[in-house]
Amino acid sequence: MFIDSHCHLDRLDLSRHNHSFAEVVRQAQEQQVNQMLCVSIDLEQFEVMCKTIKDYDNIFASAGVHPMHVDEQPFNEVRLREAASRQRVVAIGETGLDYYYSKEHADAQHESFAGHLRVAGELGMPVIVHTRDAREDTLNLIKQHGNLDTAGVLHCFTESLEMAQAAVEMNYMVSFSGIITFRNAQELRDVVKALPLDRILIETDSPYLAPVPYRGKQNQPAYVTEVARCVAEIRGISIEEVAQATRDNFFRLFSKATPIN
C-alpha cells in the first residue's frame, strides 16, 4: 500500500472528478493509495480543509502557513497552536523559505519559519518544510530553532544532494514528487539514488506537478504510484519495496498518524 505524504486536497478542482471528493479517494484506493496527508498552506483556509477531509479516517492533516502567504498572514502562535490541536493533525507546516518567488518578504518568512519550528518542537510534532533557492538559510534556521528529535521533512525536494545530505544528518527526511519523472530532472534522480532508502518519502503535491505520463493534467493522490515506480527504477528495486519503505518512513516520522490495514 502507498501513502501520499503531501497533497492539497482542498485545492482540487472537483469538476474533474464528477464534482465528488469521494471519487478522488476512490481513485486513489484503486491504485492502493490508502492513506494521505492533506497539508495546510493557509490558516484562513484551514477550516475548509478540515471540513473537506472530516469524513475520511484515512486522511491526516497538518497546520501551517506557506512562506508565500506570510505577507498576508504573519506568524500567529496562538492560532497555529489551536489549529495543531485539531483531530488528525499530525504535523506543523508547510512552512519554510521561498526566495524564488518572494525574496522581498524574507524577513517575514524567517520569522514565520522560526516560529513554526519552535512550536513544532514544543508540541513534539514534525515540520513539513518548503524550501526553494534558500538552501543555507533553511538549514541554518532548522539548526537554530528546530527540534532534531521530532525533525521533519523537506517536501517536494528540488535542491542539491549536499542539502539533502545535510538535512538527513539533522534527522530529516526528504520527499520526492512527480518532478523526478520529468525528462530534465536527472540531477534530482541522482539525489534519489544517493540517499538512504529509510530517509525517503513520496508525494504528489497535488493538484500540482502531475508526474509523467499525466504531466499537464491536474495531479491527484492516485498518481503517487508513478513517483514510487520512478524511485524503484532509479534504485533498481521493486515498487513493492519502495511502497513498504516509504510507508514505514511515513509512520516513523509522523508518529501521531495511525496505520490502517
User: Percent of the chain having pLDDT more than 70?
Assistant: 100
- Whole-prediction pTM: 0.97
Is residue 201 within 8 A of residue 247, CB to CB? The reply is no
Residue 29 confidence (pLDDT) above 80: yes
Average pLDDT of the chain is 96
Can you give the pLDDT at residue 112? 98
Write the pLDDT tens digit of every residue in 58-93.
999 999 999 999 999 999 999 999 999 998 999 999
Write the pLDDT tens digit of every residue in 176-198.
999 999 999 999 999 999 999 99
The x, y and z cell numbers of residue 38, run together, are 492533506
Residues 231-247, mean pLDDT to the nearest whole number: 98
Which are the contacts of 16, defined by CB distance < 8 A and separation ≥ 6? 218
Cα-based torsion angle of the residue sequence 185, 186, 188, 189 in order, rounded to the nearest 10 degrees: 120
CATH class of 2-253: alpha beta
The x, y and z cell numbers of residue 97, run together, are 523559505
Alpha helices in the chain (DSSP H): 21-30, 46-53, 77-84, 99-102, 106-123, 135-145, 161-169, 186-194, 224-235, 239-253
Write the pLDDT tens digit of every residue in 114-169.
999 999 999 999 999 999 999 999 999 999 999 999 999 999 999 999 999 999 99
Three-class SS state of 8: coil
Is residue 175 within 8 A of residue 5, CB to CB? The reply is yes
The x, y and z cell numbers of residue 191, run together, are 539525489
Residues 217-235, mean pLDDT to the nearest whole number: 98
Can you give the pLDDT at residue 180? 98
Can you give the pLDDT at residue 105? 82
Please state the φ and ψ torsions of residue 39, each to the nearest 5 degrees. Answer: -105, 130
Can you give the pLDDT at residue 54? 95
